[in-house]
């Protein structure tokens, strides 16, 4: 073999190796899912524990949320609630078909709702007494009690309507090899832990009105890749391996901004960071100490110094876009170090020479629990420093995320830095309900008046207006008792290759999902 031949074979070998790489298609959007959406194990929404943007593209819900958390028609073109909250009637869109050609109608909805029984999500319809098919395109839910969560549950990805026949026929494989909804995209393939490939549903014309484009979608194929490691997904964006990152960690924002052709955009998120205090453990069994700690948290400094000015400075327990967040101003928790010090003085905690307060010879020492990832550590260290300014000596104790939940159940904690993702006011019931002490009620807050207000909000809200009013009252009371202090409300960061992706000017959905992708285009 001559030298020339050897080079030829080497070249062919390298060419063959590289040819195994997947081709990049011009009409295909490749996006890396955000960290919180990595790890979906099935698109059977009655089995899935978590969901990602693909769920919202395969399935349409009956109703959707817009950017202000108002409900807009999706598969239900309208709905009515009985004045006593004991009946909901949904009028369905006509001419809608599932991906397998089956007609979407009231019977399909009834059969889908019936499938909740016996699953871990049965409680979604816990207040539904009977599902009544009124006619082909009208369905009614008769309730045992008003359910404040019903509309919210129906609007989440888990409320995506699955074709009952397909789910039954595919059995255990449903959600893996097939997932049949009425959404703008059909499932082409799903490699668990790797990627989901979707192809456009060309018959789709019934999209919800929160997108400008009601169908079909502009992009023919979407490949959603699961890359758990943030450094890797950033390098993929840099090399053109992906067109979009649906989540960019804060630490990569400045680097991403430097990349040519890459643009950054922010979306509202569903996350709140907060300091929770155990109201049954000293020194936080004294409301003045809790209030002092809450007022010592300088949210603006955290936002500016840790997050480069991005995000919001919350003053309540909820994300700022929720109507139930709009509490009266006197209940909002705002930074006021002088008042914090005065409250501690009033409670008998006297500042020492080192700035740490003491009472009856005991220093104002607390243990601050946190989780092991770097973001938690960083925020907790800042909280530690800010509490010190008021006179607290805080030690940090770190756990992994699963262990810390077990530790909370023991009730021995004093305070912890935490975050949650949720976009409904019922989060108050979850974290402050008196019958959920330990976990998820980490504050151990169990107050008779709060329980009364909670009951009214959870079971006595007959209409949407009553729901908001009752939850504001419940929220204001919790704020007045200072079982927590808000810390930070992040925004979702999205990075995209502007040479490939044309982003819509406005996105009218709470997070980047179906409505955003319907209006998204690829550059030619």
Partner 1 sequence: MLGFIIKRSLLLIPVFFAASIVAFLLIHLVPGDPVDSLLTVGSPPEQRQILTERYGLDKPLVVQYGIWIWGVLQGDLGTAIIMRRPVADLMADALPHSIALGASAFIFYTVIGVSLGVTAAIFRDRWPDRAIMTGVLFGSTLPSFWLGLLLMLVFSVWLGWLPVSGARGASSLVLPVLTIGLGGTALVARITRVAMVETQRKDFVMLLHAKGMHPLRIQLLRVLHHALIPVVTILALRIGFVLGGAITVEVVFARPGIGTLLIRGIMQHDYPVVQACLLMLSTAVILGTFLGDVLQALMDPRARASLT
220 binds partner 1 (CB under 8 A): no
Query: Which of 66, 105, 370, 424 contacts partner 1 by CB under 8 A?
Result: 424
49 binds partner 1 (CB under 8 A): yes
> Which lies closer to partner 1 via its Cβ, residue 79 or residue 152?
152
Q: Shortest approach of partner 1 to residue 1 CB, angstroms?
A: 22
Q: Which candidate, 347, 319, 313, places its Cα nearest to that of 333? A: 313
244 binds partner 1 (CB under 8 A): no
Choices 203-211, 292-300, 358-366, 420-428; region in contact with partner 1 by CB under 8 A:
420-428
- Binding residues among 431-460 for partner 1 as defined by CB under 8 A: 433, 435-436, 439-440
Q: Shortest approach of partner 1 to residue 88 CB, angstroms?
A: 17
> Which lies closer to partner 1 via its Cβ, residue 247 or residue 433?
433
Tell me which residue has tokens 């192809």: 199
Q: Shortest approach of partner 1 to residue 219 CB, angstroms?
A: 20
Separation between Cα atoms, residue 281 and residue 474, nearest integer Å = 23
DSSP E strands in 372-497: the ranges are: 393-399, 415-421, 484-488, 491-497
> Which lies closer to partner 1 via its Cβ, residue 231 or residue 305?
231
238 binds partner 1 (CB under 8 A): yes
With b for 16 or more beta-carbon neighbours within 10 A and e for fewer, the 404-414 pattern comes to beebbeeeebb
Q: How is 31-90 classified by DSSP, letter by letter?
A: EEPPGGGTT---S-TTT-SS--HHHHHH---SEEE-TTS-EEESSEEEEEE-TTSSEEEE
145 binds partner 1 (CB under 8 A): no
Choices 163-171, 192-200, 211-219, 486-494; region in contact with partner 1 by CB under 8 A:
192-200
> Which lies closer to partner 1 via its Cβ, residue 47 or residue 263?
47
Element (H, E) at 509: none
> Which lies closer to partner 1 via its Cβ, residue 190 or residue 488?
190
Q: Count Cβ atoms within 10 A of the Cβ of residue 95 and give its class: 0-12 exposed, 13-18 middle, 19 or more buried.
A: exposed
Choices 41-49, 59-67, 180-188, 445-453; region in contact with partner 1 by CB under 8 A:
41-49
Exposure of 18 in the CB half-sphere (CA atoms within 13 A): 7
Q: How far is CA 424 from CA 6, 50, 491, in A?
A: 66, 17, 17
3-state secondary structure string, 267-302? EECCEEEEEEECCCCCCCCCHHHHHHHHHHCCHHHH
Choices 350-358, 388-396, 426-434, 459-467; region in contact with partner 1 by CB under 8 A:
426-434
Own/partner pairs, 230-233, CB within 8 angstroms, 24+ separation: 230/35, 233/32
Separation between Cα atoms, residue 463 and residue 466, nearest integer Å = 5
Q: Shortest approach of partner 1 to residue 109 CB, angstroms?
A: 21
Two structure tokens written together for 299: 């949210």
9 binds partner 1 (CB under 8 A): no
225 binds partner 1 (CB under 8 A): yes
Judge contact between 364 and 356, C-beta under 8 A.
yes
Separation between Cα atoms, residue 351 and residue 364, nearest integer Å = 9
Q: Which candidate, 219, 222, 178, 204, places its Cα nearest to that of 75? A: 204
Binding mask 282-321 for partner 1 (x = CB under 8 A): ----------------------------------------
Q: Shortest approach of partner 1 to residue 179 CB, angstroms?
A: 14
Interaction site with partner 1 (CB under 8 A)? 17-18, 20-22, 39, 41-42, 44, 47-49, 120, 123-124, 126, 149, 152-153, 172, 176, 191-195, 225-229, 231-233, 235-236, 238-239, 241, 401-403, 405-407, 422, 424, 426-427, 429-430, 433, 435-436, 439-440
């Amino acid at each position: 073999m001559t030298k020339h031949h050897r080079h030829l074979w080497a070249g062919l070998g390298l060419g063959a190796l590289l040819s195994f790489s997947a081709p990049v298609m011009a009409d295909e959007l490749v996006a890396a899912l955000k960290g919180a959406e990595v790890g979906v194990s099935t698109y059977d929404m009655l089995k899935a524990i978590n969901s990602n943007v693909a769920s919202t593209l395969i399935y349409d819900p009956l109703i959707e949320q817009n950017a202000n958390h108002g409900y807009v028609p999706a598969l239900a073109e309208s709905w009515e609630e009985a004045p006593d909250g004991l009946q909901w009637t949904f009028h369905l869109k006509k001419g809608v078909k599932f991906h397998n050609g089956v007609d979407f109608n009231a019977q399909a909805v009834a059969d889908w709702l019936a499938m909740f029984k016996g699953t871990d999500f049965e409680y979604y319809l816990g207040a539904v007494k009977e599902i009544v098919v009124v006619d082909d395109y009208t369905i009614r839910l008769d309730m045992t009690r008003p359910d404040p969560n019903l509309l919210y549950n129906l609007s989440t990805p888990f409320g995506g309507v699955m074709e009952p026949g397909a789910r039954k026929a595919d059995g255990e494989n449903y959600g893996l090899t097939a997932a049949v909804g009425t959404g703008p995209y059909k499932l082409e393939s799903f490699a668990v832990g790797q990627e989901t490939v979707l192809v456009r549903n060309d018959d789709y014309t019934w999209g919800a009105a929160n997108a400008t484009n009601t169908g079909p979608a502009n992009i023919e194929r979407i490949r959603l890749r699961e890359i758990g490691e943030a450094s890797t997904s950033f390098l993929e964006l840099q090399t053109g391996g992906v067109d979009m990152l649906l989540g960019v960690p804060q630490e990569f924002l400045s680097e991403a901004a430097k990349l040519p052709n890459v643009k950054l955009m922010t979306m509202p998120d569903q996350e709140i960071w907060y300091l929770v205090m155990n109201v049954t453990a000293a020194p936080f069994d004294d409301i003045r100490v809790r209030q002092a700690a809450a007022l010592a948290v300088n949210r603006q400094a955290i936002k500016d110094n840790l997050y480069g000015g991005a995000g919001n400075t919350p003053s309540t327990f909820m994300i700022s876009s929720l109507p139930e967040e709009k509490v009266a101003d006197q209940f909002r928790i705002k930074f006021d170090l002088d008042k914090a010090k005065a409250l501690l003085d009033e409670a008998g905690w006297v500042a020492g020479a080192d700035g740490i307060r003491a009472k009856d010879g005991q220093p104002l020492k607390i243990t601050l629990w946190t989780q092991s990832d770097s973001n938690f550590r960083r925020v907790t260290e800042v909280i530690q420093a800010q509490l010190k300014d008021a006179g607290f000596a805080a030690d940090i104790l770190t756990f992994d995320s699963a262990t810390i939940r077990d530790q909370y159940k023991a009730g021995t904690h004093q305070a912890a830095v935490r975050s949650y993702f949720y976009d409904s006011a019922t989060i108050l019931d979850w974290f402050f309900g008196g019958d959920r002490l330990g976990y998820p009620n980490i504050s151990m807050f169990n107050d008779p008046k709060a329980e009364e207000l909670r009951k009214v909000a959870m079971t006595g809200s007959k209409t949407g207006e009553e729901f908001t009013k009752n939850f504001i009252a419940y929220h204001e009371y919790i704020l007045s008792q200072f079982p927590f202090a808000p810390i930070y409300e992040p925004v979702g960061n999205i990075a995209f290759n502007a040479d490939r992706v044309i982003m819509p000017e406005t996105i009218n959905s709470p997070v980047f999902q179906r409505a955003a992708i319907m209006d998204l285009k690829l550059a030619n």
